Amino acid sequence: MNISNLHLLTYVPGVAEHAREVNRYIRSRFSRKNFIFAIDLPSGFEETVLSAVKKLPVVSIILDITGRGIPVIPTHAPIEAVRLYLESGMDMHFVDSSLPVRGDIGEWYRFVDIARNIGLERVLGDPKFYGISLSALFGSQYEGEGQKIPSFIHLSSMYRERVHAISPLEMTEYIDSRNRLMAKRVKKLIDSGEEIVFVCNERNALSVLRYLEEKEQVPFDDRLILPTITCRVPGRSIHKLTQEIPYVMYAYEMARNGEFDRFSILKDIFLKARTIELPADIEASIRYSMKLAMTEGQLFPDTYLLAVAARSIVDDSYAKRILDISLYYPFADAGIHECPGLEGYLDYNLQRVSHRTICLKPEDPEQRAFAKKKGMKFPFIFGYYRWVRNGAHIETEKRLLSFIRSLDPFRDGRVGHRPRKFVSGLEWGIDARNTLRGRINRDDALYVRRKRRTSVAAYIIDYGKRANTKFFIDRIIKGIGTAWVEGKTYTISTVVLFPWLECEVTDIFIGLDTNEPFPSSLSVALEYAKKLLIFSDRGENVLCSLGIPRNKYRIYPLREIPSSLLEGYQSFTIVKDNLKYNPLGD
């Protein structure tokens, strides 16, 4: 058969490069020539599709009652072809079928009815349960696997044919019938002698071409045109329509007849999402996203890979901003309700838009500021929750502290002063700084300096036990420790109590190491206290080996603490757990 007047343009659904190729091909070859468009959209849907295309760039989806859909988006090649038809006024034919019926049409109606009520995917997933014989309808068993994205989808069709062997879809009777039907219609158009531009999904193209050569036509009935609804898709759901990045769709729409450079658009996304990120990190994120795409057999990353790269190189907040910009499509309606049936719709090849999930935990800007103020690393890669321990332990803690203070040689150290509202007596002089600060805050009180009467030491109790967790306490006294947790019982391994601590214990307890409870306790304690008062049976050798100067600590054996206090303090139980707030209310 002579098909020299056939121009075949294959596409991967939704990919901007393929829509672009249709646009350029028509504009470069047929600007002054007549031609006929043959598009692989279902015959009988012309009015519906044209009506939706006229509303572009507002995106919508045409869903039939079985749950199959046609996304009306700017980057979908058949939709671009319909737009060109509207602009050029050339002839256009939809050559696909809504349902190419072979055999008993009554059985098809039953299938349609069940699919409408239950959902196409569920019916296809378990046809026996619904009393449907797919082998009778489609001729072979449908295998409901997720969509496998073809590799190198961003290559245009002329290059894809060279680097990528297009494998035809698993040939079910349903697909086969559609392809035969398309071939018959295209053949009829070819016979008219006009130039035919056939826009066809690459999954069906080879099969349709093969059937063009066939002389014998299999009879089928294409009278079954299923009713459809057209839904406008809200901005938040555009990513459910297509594999394409919504921001790329927007960029394509903005420069539809101009230049389209995906790499520049992706770079734009990374740069627009930037706030405080370093240029080197931005560059690394772009590079890494490209490499991730390469490992998946693609030239360019999708939305998911952009977020993954940003998260791996920078942090979750940057990834979240990347995601927000990637999903940006300003022409979509913001306020309309969700389109029913959009979730998990199938295309006419019964393929689903595959989705991947990424869990992001963007940081709180206040937390970052806090970490910066405290000179800590951010983002934190740890978390904590609050609990309330048993009252007996708190009482024991009070008595223990009272006892340790009696042994403390570092009390009343010269650690400065603390402000106090003037009542009588100037104590250690007027605290000018706090008085002025009060005036700014409209507090007319006079502040005087009072000598701090607390210890400069940190108290360390080392029980010498194993630990599997870190904890902090901030009720009676600020303290951090390591413990062995069993159910709701904490058995303390080491604990560091700070009579005076400038920062919060939640800032510092991460510094403990459950593998080395005692050395890490010493290290954290020395960072935040000038002296150490240690109760441990390990002896001084350990401290010497750690290089702690002799004048920095006093060490006592554990037996110095009365056994009732020592044993009573060693373990506590949790009475309220998993509190997200501070039970003290501060």
The answer to whether 511 contacts other proteins (rule: CB under 8 A) is yes
Unique residue bearing structure tokens 């609804």: 229
Which sign does the torsion angle of CA 258, 259, 261, 264 carry? negative
Nearest distance, CB of residue 312 and other proteins, angstroms: 3
Cα separation values, 13 from 99, 154, 242, 454, 574, Å: 20, 11, 8, 72, 57
- How far is the C-alpha of 492 from the C-alpha of 464, rounded, in Å? 9
Per-residue contact flags (x/-) with other proteins for residues 449 to 468, judged by CB under 8 A: -------------------x
The answer to whether 309 contacts other proteins (rule: CB under 8 A) is yes
Q: Which of 266, 331, 262, 304 is nearest to 72 (CA)?
A: 331
Q: How far is CA 317 from the centre of its chain?
A: 10
Unique residue bearing structure tokens 């998990």: 344
The answer to whether 276 contacts other proteins (rule: CB under 8 A) is no
- Identity of the residue, 75 or 289, whose beta carbon is nearer to other proteins in the bound complex: 289
| Pairing of the two strands 60-64 and 69-72 | antiparallel
The answer to whether 132 contacts other proteins (rule: CB under 8 A) is no
Q: Which of 294, 369, 426, 579 binds other proteins (CB under 8 A)?
A: 294
Q: Which of 5, 88, 312, 390 binds other proteins (CB under 8 A)?
A: 312
Cα separation values, 166 from 12, 96, 146, 211, 348, Å: 11, 20, 18, 17, 18
The answer to whether 288 contacts other proteins (rule: CB under 8 A) is yes
The answer to whether 281 contacts other proteins (rule: CB under 8 A) is yes
The answer to whether 486 contacts other proteins (rule: CB under 8 A) is yes
The answer to whether 308 contacts other proteins (rule: CB under 8 A) is yes
Interface with other proteins by CB under 8 A: which range of 46-54, 172-180, 375-383, 494-502?
375-383
The answer to whether 390 contacts other proteins (rule: CB under 8 A) is no
- Please say whether the beta carbons of 212 and 176 come within 8 A: no
The answer to whether 43 contacts other proteins (rule: CB under 8 A) is no
In the sheet with 228-232, reading across from the earlier edge strand, the strands are 69-72, 60-64, 228-232
- Identity of the residue, 131 or 487, whose beta carbon is nearer to other proteins in the bound complex: 487
- How far is the C-alpha of 368 from the C-alpha of 256, rounded, in Å? 42
The answer to whether 575 contacts other proteins (rule: CB under 8 A) is no
The answer to whether 191 contacts other proteins (rule: CB under 8 A) is no
The answer to whether 287 contacts other proteins (rule: CB under 8 A) is yes
Question: ω into residue 379 within 30 of 0, thus cis?
Answer: yes
Q: Which of 87, 296, 364, 537 binds other proteins (CB under 8 A)?
A: 296
Q: Which of 254, 476, 485, 575 binds other proteins (CB under 8 A)?
A: 485
The answer to whether 510 contacts other proteins (rule: CB under 8 A) is yes
Residue 559 neighbours by CB under 8 Å, 6+ apart: none
Q: Which residues bind other proteins (CB under 8 A)?
A: 278, 281, 284, 287-288, 291-292, 294-296, 308-309, 312-313, 377, 381-382, 468, 484-487, 510-511, 513-515
